[in-house]
Structure 1
Amino acid sequence: MQRQHNALSSEGVSQCLKLLSDTTRLLMLKFLKEKEYCVCELTAIFGMSQPGISQHLRKLKNAGLVRERREGQWRYYAIHPSGPEYALVRSILQQIDEKDGVLQTLRQKEVTVSCR
């Protein structure tokens, strides 16, 4: 049986699912799918320390799920739309209800964030 062009190995799917099994990383990807965020914005939205947010972002970046862009002292992150896992991640993120209480609470915090 031939593997589909963009299909992942069972190990690749398993690793991706392990990363997404953490609620913070899952919701972080939900935000990063929509637009680019600075670490300080994510810190305020998720109510976590900068090292905590950076640790989650490092795991997502090492897995190829997010990309990083530097601008002066700031680092901006967004979902990596051309990574091999993107189709799987996009499909999973679509399953999150926009009316989810946790997601709504985080979105309210987003409005008040400004790091510039």
Structure 2
Amino acid sequence: MKVSAIDVDNTAMILKLLGDKTRLSMVKILDTHDCCVCEFVEIFKASQPAISQHVRKLRDVGLVRETRRGQWIIYSLNKESEYYPILKSLFEHLPSQDEKLQELEEKGLRISCN
């Protein structure tokens, strides 16, 4: 199956969205681990409303999916998005973000909303 090209306007929009360090780190984390907002709040030391805005922007363009687990919403990377090939290329050049999740686990805060 051939991947169709994304036009320049949409590519620029995605790159602008990913130009934010927090959002870029979020999608890198979500490439290998599903997370909830509470985990991102702890990882990025940011307020819940600020993290929710970042996630909303990623979700609105289809880069991130949400799944409800009870009263909690868990976010994952949408690997079926037309923009995923751009992300996949970027990921090859970014360091792993696993240490951020390991720190959460060590503090007992990994998926603290379960």
Q: State TM-score, norm by structure 1.
A: 0.85
Aligned-CA RMSD value:
1.7
The gaps in structure 1 that reach 5 residues or longer are none
1:34 is paired with a residue whose SS is coil
Determine if contact 1:66/1:78 at 8 Å carries over to the other structure. Answer: yes
Q: Shift of residue 93 of structure 1?
A: 1.8
Aligned pair partner of 1:106 in 100, 109, 114 = 100
Structure 1 stretches of 4+ with a deviation exceeding 4 A read none
- Structure-2 residue corresponding to 1:83: 81
Matches within 5 A, 1:21-60: 21-60=19-58
Once the two structures are superposed, residues 21-41 of structure 1 have per-residue CA deviations (whole angstroms, 9 ceiling, x without a partner) of: 000000010100102111111
- Residue 68 of structure 2 aligns with which residue? 70
The one-letter amino acid of 1:106's match is K
Q: Secondary structure at the match of 2:68?
A: strand
2:104 and 2:88 map into 1 onto residues whose CA distance is 21
Equivalent position amino acid for 2:100 in 1: L
- After alignment, is 25-34 or 39-48 more displaced? 39-48
Gaps of 5+ in 2: none
The 3-state SS of whatever aligns with 1:76 is strand
Total equivalences in the alignment: 109
